[in-house]
Structure formats: C-alpha cells, structure tokens
Amino acid sequence: MRFLFLFLVLILSACASKPPGTERVFFPTASPRWLDEVGAPDLATIKGRGYLVLPQGAGPGPYPAVILLHSSLGVGTLEWDFTDKLLAQGMAVLLVDSFTGRGLTKIEHDQMEVSEVSILADLYAGYRFLAAQPQIDRSRVAVAGFSKGGLPAVYSAFTEIYQRYGYQNDPFQSHLAFYPWCGLRLKDWRMSGRPVQIHSGDADKITPAALCRQLVQSAWAANPGAAVSLIVYPGQRHGFTHPDLDAISLPVSYPYPRDCRIVERADGRFVEQASGRVITGDNLSEVIGACSAKGAWVSGDEGARTEAYKRALAFLAGR
C-alpha cells in the first residue's frame, strides 16, 4: 500500500499545471542541518530554486506576496492549487523548491534529508530575492507552508528564530501554516507581534493538533494578546486540504516525527525528550529517526479545504 500511495501522489503531482507566466528563479541559500549550524562560516552556499508568479490583470504593482513552502513530497498539486487561490486575490507567489537544488524530489523515507532548518534558510533567502524585485511590495510579504513547510512558516514568527538568521525584526507580514509539526519547544517564546494562523485536523496522527495547541498556549503566555490562532477541523486527517485526496483515505507507512519532542534547555542546547539526546547537525537524522512513528492515514475533504482556504485568504488579506 505504501507504494500505491507514493505512486498515486507522484502521478498527481506530475499532472499539476503551472499558472501562466510562471518564472523559474534562483537565489543563494545554504543547508544548515540544525540550528547550531546556522551562520557557520564554513557553511557552503548552494543555488536555491523557486517559482515566481505574478497576478495577471492586477495592475502594475508592486504586489503583496506570499512565500509558499511545500510538504515532504515536494512541489506538486497541493502547492499549485493554493498558488492559484493566492493569485486570484492579487498576490504574487514565490513557491520555494527546497528539494531540487539539493538533488532530491521527495524525502518521505528520511524527513531530515532536508531539515526544517534548511527550509528556514531557503525562506529567508527567498525573502531577500523578493525584496529586491521592483514588482513586489517588500513590506507586505507573508509566509505560508504545508506540513513540513508549516514548521518554518510558524516558527519564523519567533524572535529567537529570525534573529538566528540575521534579522532584528520579523520581515514577514503574517505567518500561515496547514497541519505543521509543532513539537519544537523553544526556551524563549517572544514573538515579533505579527499574526500567526495554524490549520490542523483533530484526526491528524502525523502532525497532531495537540502539539500546536501547546505552542499557541506558550506563545500567549509569553506574548499576552498575541494574534496567534489555531483552527482545528473535526474529523480531518493529515493533508485534508489536498485536492487530489478528496474523499480518499490512504495509508502512510513512512516515518514521521509524531512522537518526537525537542526541548531547548536554558543553556541553548536542544534535547529530544524521550531519549535525552542532545541534537546537532551531525546526529539529527539518527535522533529523529529513533523517535519517529509509522502507521497513519491521509485524506482530503473538499468542504474542509474550502473553509480553511476561505479563512486563510482572509487572514493573509488582513481581514
């Protein structure tokens, strides 16, 4: 069944059509494996990749923009479908491809082949690229992410994270995520003050909504009145917004970090809670692999997707 699922997703992703005017773009980025490697002087520069799409018929600009981060299956139907929704609202989109430039197409067998820390590097590199484009309003750039791309979309709102990547202030107008993994517990939950919206399903056994609820509570405690919200959809599983999974339930047997909990200690070290092991760039795959789980389902739901996207688009528009 695992091969059936992967075959189906690959076929559907291959059929995804790019919007008219899509431009392949490149920008310098890096591949830190874990947060201890961010900013290291010996970190090699690589060629980041993405797709830039401007809204058609929306005037000359400059346009508000969204940097979109994909799931562990790479750029596919899920991301292009949401891109179409964003374009229809007059927003430009930079869909970041965090896999191709690293010689990969998908990473379902080892989620840490490209870590969320590397995707964060791509996110900020993508912002620098967008900010230099005259068609883009650099003061109105948001970030959105699905599943694996959801963690960078959420955690980039926290002061500790964006300062690690060289920003004194959060460059993003807002932060949006669909079914992200929220199992990273920071020692400092201070935020930029920019709004965050998370969409999760209460039947998601891959990236449980309960972890995101804990994150939201920590954010509220450290930032009274913070505009951080979690919307939980009853009965919905992982991937519920995927248009190719409507009314379909499929088993997933590859490992995912449902049971992993990473806690930052007072000394700044990150520890996987169950094993007590300190995480570094060198041992990341081993530690996360040991705490990962297998055996879950994914499915889509047209009604839930419609409602989630309605809320998400209103959020990005500031309504």
**pLDDT tens string 131-187:** 999 999 999 999 999 999 999 999 999 999 999 999 999 999 999 999 999 999 999
Per the structure block, which two tokens stand in for 133?
Answer: 């484009």
Alpha carbons 228 and 193: distance in angstroms, whole number = 9
Contact 146, 69 (CB under 8 A): yes
Burial 223-251 (b: 16+ CB within 10 A, else e): beebbbebebbeebbbbbbbebbeeeebe
Q: What is the pLDDT of residues 96-126, one digit of tens each?
A: 999 998 988 776 667 788 999 999 999 999 9
- How many domains would you assign to the chain? 1
> Domain of 294: which CATH number?
3.40.50.1820
What size, in residues, is the chain? Answer: 319
Judged by phi (left if over 0) then psi (alpha if -120 to 50, else beta), residue 225 lies in left
Residue 5: the pLDDT is 43
Residue 113: the pLDDT is 86
**Residues of the chain under the 70 pLDDT cut:** 1-16, 107-109, 319
Could you please report the per-residue DSSP string of 123-160? HHHHHHHHHT-TTEEEEEEEEEEEGGGHHHHHHTTBHH
Helices (H), 27-156: 77-88, 116-131, 150-155
Dihedral sign, CA of 302, 308, 309, 311?
positive
**What pTM value is reported for the model?**
0.94
Contact 91, 55 (CB under 8 A): yes
**Domain containing 212: what range?**
2-316
Per the structure block, which two tokens stand in for 259?
Answer: 């049971």
Residue 13: the pLDDT is 52
